[in-house]
């Protein structure tokens, strides 16, 4: 895109509080500095719905990679940020399409994947999304108040989020006090009785979804001891030679951890907390206490694998195993949700049907990130995914498939519409006010930041 002549100027992010929903909306505002619109065929207006990595990488790509951080993207002269706007509620996709030449949906995957097992609605069962939102200060999760009075917690899923939850549950409180975990969460974690965390996966060590950085953090966690099942690693040593390098390094670390690192055994025996990866297990049922009020355990089905490598499939054997626990956290993935009935949506795959980011049967609509692919990959995957969508859009402009010749009002009409509806967007400079207040609050207690926990508090700060 380095030789492309089209100038994209302006981007708006529309967000609702601290939700994953964030809406960028506006490339090229179409103003000439006097507030009067001046339109031309070489100044297309693009609206990006989302404010996560996918949205910013898409924006970054469209303004030609002259910037390399999200903050710089939001502050760029051709980019505008608008938060506290809920697309699909405050403004419709159709209304955005009328105002812009193209609309990119990048609002991510904020829904929870259901386990689909009996008992998952019992007290003591939480989604990892909500649990992480609780200790990270997401306003919608503020009232979660998880019960941490049990000794054993079971986390379903073996991705990075699952290990992050395990690390938070087992970390010494002095370590957590130096992070930006919220004060209410710190107080609850300081009183936590959780001493053992099992991280359960339906497949084997070679298919584990976490990365080596997160696993190493668990291995090096002070005052904790790994609790692995050596039998889960049968045949893994022989398979190492055929693994790609990143997977090989991750698997080698698991092997060393499972089979006791020389010299580490004595130190580990003094640990008061335990964590372990459990493989070849799928949830069958959450077991209730005698009063049927809350979680008392989990029944796991034992699996065998069909196939090998990344494509291996877990198949139930009929054998089951019960684990006593008072806390179950489901980290089996997120799913996107539809936000507007005018946008095609595949409910089974929980994605918007698309071809290289072009939304099927919806001219002028594009998507990027997890809404495009499903919740998969790491940050680099999302970056490349977003660049591909931006490339598709520019190709469509070049070919004439996307008509940018008609005059579009862009943000002028959308802002007027929001004002009429009583919606007050938060600009990026408003967001920076929130950022500064949170960092100052954190500085007073020796933390990176102390987060504002309600949308109302954020808006009060932003509108000062």
Q: What is the DSSP string of 84-143?
A: S--BTTTB-HHHHHHH-SEEEE-----EEPP---TTTTSBTEEEHHHHHHHHHT-GGGTT
Q: Is residue 66's pLDDT more than 50?
A: no
| Two tokens, residue 193 | 């009785």
Nearest to 365 by CA among 400, 383, 392: 392
Enumerate the domain spans of the chain: 46-110+336-426, 114-332
Q: Is residue 325's pLDDT more than 80?
A: yes
User: Which residues, in sequence order, are CB contacts of 457 under 8 Å at separation 6+?
Assistant: none
User: Which residues, in sequence order, are CB contacts of 326 under 8 Å at separation 6+?
Assistant: 124, 147, 149, 150, 151, 152, 153, 294, 295, 296
| Two tokens, residue 424 | 């007050």
Give dist(CA 135, CA 124) in Å, integer.
16
Q: Is residue 448's pLDDT more than 70?
A: yes
Tell me the pLDDT of the chain averaged across its residues.
85
**What topology does CATH give the domain 114-332?**
FAD/NAD(P)-binding domain (3.50.50)
User: What's the Cα-to-Cα distance from 152 to each of 287, 337, 375, rounded to whole Å?
Assistant: 14, 33, 28
Q: Against a cut of 0.95, is the pTM above it? A: no
Least confident piece of the model among 80-84, 186-190, 296-300, 316-320: 80-84
Q: What is the pLDDT of residue 263?
A: 52
Residues 305-315: tens digit of each pLDDT: 998 888 899 99
| Antiparallel, parallel or unpaired: β 273-278 and 327-330 | unpaired
Starting from the edge strand earliest in sequence, which strands make up the sheet with 327-330, in order?
Answer: 125-127, 327-330, 152-156, 196-200, 273-278, 224-226
Nearest to 166 by CA among 192, 138, 139, 202: 192
| Two tokens, residue 47 | 């609206």
Instruction: Report the alpha-carbon angle 415-419-425, nearest 5.
Output: 65
Give dist(CA 138, CA 133) in Å, integer.
5
Q: Is residue 292's pLDDT more than 60?
A: yes
Max alpha carbon distance in the chain (Å)? 74
- The verdict on domain 46-110+336-426 having CATH code 3.50.50.60 is no
Residues 26-47: tens digit of each pLDDT: 333 333 333 333 333 347 888 8
Residues 86-139: tens digit of each pLDDT: 999 999 999 999 999 999 999 988 888 889 999 999 999 999 999 999 999 999
């Amino acid at each position: 895109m380095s030789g492309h002549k089209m100038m994209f100027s302006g981007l708006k992010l529309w967000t609702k509080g601290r939700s994953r929903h964030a809406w960028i909306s506006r490339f090229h505002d179409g103003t000439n500095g006097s507030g009067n619109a001046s339109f031309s065929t070489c100044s297309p207006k693009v609206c990006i719905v989302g404010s996560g990595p996918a949205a910013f990488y898409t924006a970054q790509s469209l303004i030609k990679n002259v910037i390399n951080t999200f903050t710089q993207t939001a502050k760029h002269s051709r980019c505008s940020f608008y938060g506290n706007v809920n697309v699909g509620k405050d403004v419709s996709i159709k209304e955005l399409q009328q105002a812009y030449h193209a609309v990119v949906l990048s609002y991510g995957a904020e829904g929870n994947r259901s386990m689909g097992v009996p008992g998952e609605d019992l007290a003591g069962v939480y989604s990892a999304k909500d649990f992480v939102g609780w200790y990270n200060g997401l306003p919608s999760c503020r009232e979660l108040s998880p019960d941490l009075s049990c000794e054993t917690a079971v986390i379903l899923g073996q991705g990075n989020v699952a290990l992050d939850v395990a690390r938070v549950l087992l970390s010494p409180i002095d370590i957590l006090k130096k992070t930006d975990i919220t004060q209410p969460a710190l107080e609850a974690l300081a009183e936590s009785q959780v001493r053992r965390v099992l991280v359960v996966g339906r497949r084997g060590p070679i298919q584990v979804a976490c990365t080596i950085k997160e696993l190493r953090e668990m291995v090096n966690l002070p005052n904790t001891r790994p609790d692995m099942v050596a039998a889960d690693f049968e045949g893994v040593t022989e398979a190492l030679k055929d693994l790609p390098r990143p997977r090989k390094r991750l698997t080698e670390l698991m092997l060393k951890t499972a089979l006791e690192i020389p010299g580490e055994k004595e130190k580990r025996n003094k640990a008061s907390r335990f964590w372990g990866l459990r493989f070849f297990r799928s949830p069958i049922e959450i077991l209730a206490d005698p009063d049927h009020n809350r979680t008392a355990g989990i029944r796991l089905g034992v699996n065998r694998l069909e196939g090998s490598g990344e494509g291996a499939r877990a198949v139930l054997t009929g054998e089951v195993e019960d684990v006593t626990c008072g806390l179950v956290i489901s980290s089996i993935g997120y799913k996107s949700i539809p936000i507007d009935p005018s946008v095609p949506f595949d409910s089974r795959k929980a994605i918007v049907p698309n071809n290289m980011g072009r939304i099927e049967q919806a001219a002028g609509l594009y998507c990027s990130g997890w809404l495009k692919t499903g919740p998969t990959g790491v940050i680099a995957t999302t970056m490349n995914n977003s660049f591909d969508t931006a490339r598709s859009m520019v190709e469509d402009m070049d070919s004439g498939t996307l008509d940018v010749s008609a005059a579009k009002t862009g943000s002028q009409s959308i802002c007027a519409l929001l004002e009429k509806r009583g919606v007050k967007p938060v600009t990026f400079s408003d967001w920076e006010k929130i950022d500064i207040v949170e960092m100052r609050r954190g500085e007073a207690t020796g933390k990176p930041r102390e987060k504002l926990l309600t949308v109302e508090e954020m808006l009060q700060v932003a509108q000062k």
